[in-house]
């Protein structure tokens, strides 16, 4: 199959605020605004940004747990909005999710073995022997002893529960796993074990990940490319190495500068830049980052900056650092958004 595994085009999600019964126009929360990216087979595509910037909403849109206000999600070139019955079931097998809290996402009344095989049982009836063989195999894959299949989630550690969540996601042999803050609730040493497990599984099975995280240290360790989001929009999208070596957007720069040097794996992005995150209901005009940006000029208050391709293959939305006119006037760069953005 040619082309990307996942293609997200101009994805937008607005949540209405209240019923608007007596109002002509209902205010909306602009959770995700015109987001485009691609994910290749076997790639780890990371999404970072402060709380409320729309990361989890993207995960929910990719899983079709919420419907988009606009835009499309294509898997192997097929728009998931149009999938019905068998095609929808087949697609659901290919995309799985691993959640932040391994405890609340596991049914406390089921044993580890039942939890792991539950997704497969939704598609076909496994006999007792096949059920046990599958559970044992998947437990081994995630570095757990097959004997653990008889335990309840409450009898497992946090790291073991997260391994169990990963084993469950693997049971349908997915092409893509969406991991939403999948290691945030774990201790640093357990985080490292789970990240290395994900990297091993990716190498063995060629799985692609959409990896959503607050934690830049984690993203640097695991990611191939990273999208930085601010108030629902991507402001910079770049290969991980390039982004960490030389951030271009002032927001990315501030996030990376806020990294505590002695232990970069523990960076949290709760308040990395001065000032409050603006309201997603009434976002600032022009570039939404301009009220907090030390480089803001008049144009930033007026025009939303487009994502502009840079010489090293990344795309950046900043009037000051990536002015659209200059780049579009450069024939070597004009139109070359193929590396990072959905066409
Ligand atoms: N079901 C919903 N109804 C209304 N607003 C919502 C809903 N889900 C999310 N939002 C709003 O959409 C915006 C984006 O939320 P989202 O959960 O996607 O952010 P996030 O980046 O994942 O944040 P966090 O890192 O804190 O999980 C926020 O302003 C949030 O309040």
C-alpha Rg value of the chain to the nearest Å: 21
Tell me the torsion sign for CA atoms 149, 142, 226, 181. positive
Q: Which atom of ligand 1 is nearest to the CA of 58?
A: 18
Task: Say if residue 99's pLDDT is above 70.
Answer: yes
Quote the ligand 1 centre to 240 CA distance (angstroms): 25
In this prediction the ipTM stands at: 0.97
Task: Give the closest residue (by CA) to ligand 1 atom 3.
Answer: 15
Q: How do strand 78-79 and strand 70-75 relate by DSSP bridges?
A: antiparallel
Q: Which atom of ligand 1 is nearest to the CA of 13?
A: 12
297-317 pLDDT, tens digit per residue, is 999 999 999 999 998 889 999
Burial letters for 303-335: b for 16+ Cβ neighbours within 10 Å, e otherwise? eebebbbbeebbbbbbbbbbeeeebeeeeebee
Q: Is the pTM of this model over 0.90?
A: no
191-233 pLDDT, tens digit per residue, is 888 899 899 989 999 999 999 998 888 899 899 999 999 999 9
Task: Say if residue 237's pLDDT is above 80.
Answer: yes
Q: What percent of the chain is helix, strand and coil (3-state, nearest 5)?
A: 35, 20, 45
Task: Give the closest residue (by CA) to ligand 1 atom 16.
Answer: 54
Task: Give the closest residue (by CA) to ligand 1 atom 29.
Answer: 52
Nearest Cα to Cα of residue 227 among 101, 55, 104:
55
Residues with CB under 6 A from ligand 1: 15, 29, 31, 49, 51-57, 214, 280
Task: Give the closest residue (by CA) to ligand 1 atom 13.
Answer: 31
Euclidean distance between CA atoms 68 and 30, whole angstroms: 12
Quote the ligand 1 centre to 214 CA distance (angstroms): 14
Give the CATH fold of the 6-328 domain.
Rossmann fold (3.40.50)
DSSP summary character for residue 284:
P
Task: Give the closest residue (by CA) to ligand 1 atom 25.
Answer: 51
Quote the ligand 1 centre to 267 CA distance (angstroms): 21
3-state class (DSSP) for residue 249: coil
Quote the ligand 1 centre to 54 CA distance (angstroms): 6
Quote the ligand 1 centre to 179 CA distance (angstroms): 16
For residues 166 and 197, the answer to whether their CB atoms sit within 8 Å is yes
Give the mean model confidence (pLDDT) for residues 312-332: 75
Quote the ligand 1 centre to 252 CA distance (angstroms): 20
155-177 pLDDT, tens digit per residue, is 999 889 989 999 999 999 899 99
DSSP summary character for residue 339:
T
Structure tokens at 186: 């774990």
CA distances from 219 to 150, 161, 215 (A): 34, 22, 6
């Amino acid at each position: 199959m040619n082309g990307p595994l996942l293609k997200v085009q101009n994805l937008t999600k607005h949540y209405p605020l209240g019923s608007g019964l007596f109002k002509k126009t209902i205010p909306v929360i602009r959770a995700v605004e015109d987001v485009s990216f691609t994910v290749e087979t076997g790639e780890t595509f990371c999404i970072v940004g402060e709380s409320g910037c729309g990361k989890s909403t993207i995960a929910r849109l990719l899983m079709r747990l919420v419907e988009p206000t606009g835009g499309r999600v294509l898997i192997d070139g097929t728009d998931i909005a149009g999938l019905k019955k068998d095609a929808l079931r087949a697609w659901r097998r290919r995309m799985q999710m691993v959640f932040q809290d391994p405890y609340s996402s596991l049914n406390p009344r089921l044993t580890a073995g039942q939890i792991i095989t539950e997704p497969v049982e939704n598609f076909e009836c496994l006999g007792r022997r096949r059920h046990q063989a599958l559970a044992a195999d998947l437990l081994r894959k995630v570095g757990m002893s097959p004997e653990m299949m008889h335990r309840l989630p409450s009898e497992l550690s946090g790291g073991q529960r997260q391994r169990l969540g990963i084993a469950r996601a693997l049971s349908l042999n997915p092409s893509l796993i969406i991991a939403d803050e999948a290691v945030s609730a774990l201790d640093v040493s357990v985080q490292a074990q789970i990240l290395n497990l994900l990297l091993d599984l990716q190498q063995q099975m060629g799985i692609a990940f959409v990896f959503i995280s607050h934690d830049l240290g984690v993203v640097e360790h695991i990611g191939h490319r990273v999208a930085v989001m601010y108030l629902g929009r991507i402001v910079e999208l770049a290969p991980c190495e390039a982004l960490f070596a030389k951030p271009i957007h002032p927001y990315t720069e501030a996030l990376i500068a806020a990294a505590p040097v002695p232990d970069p794996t523990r960076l949290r992005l709760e308040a990395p830049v001065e000032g409050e995150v603006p309201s997603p209901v009434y976002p600032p005009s022009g570039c939404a980052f301009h009220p907090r940006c030390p480089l803001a000029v008049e144009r930033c208050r007026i025009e939303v900056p487009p994502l502009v391709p840079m010489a090293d293959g990344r795309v950046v939305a900043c009037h000051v650092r990536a002015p659209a006119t200059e780049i579009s006037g450069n024939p070597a760069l004009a139109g070359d958004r193929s590396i990072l953005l959905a066409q």
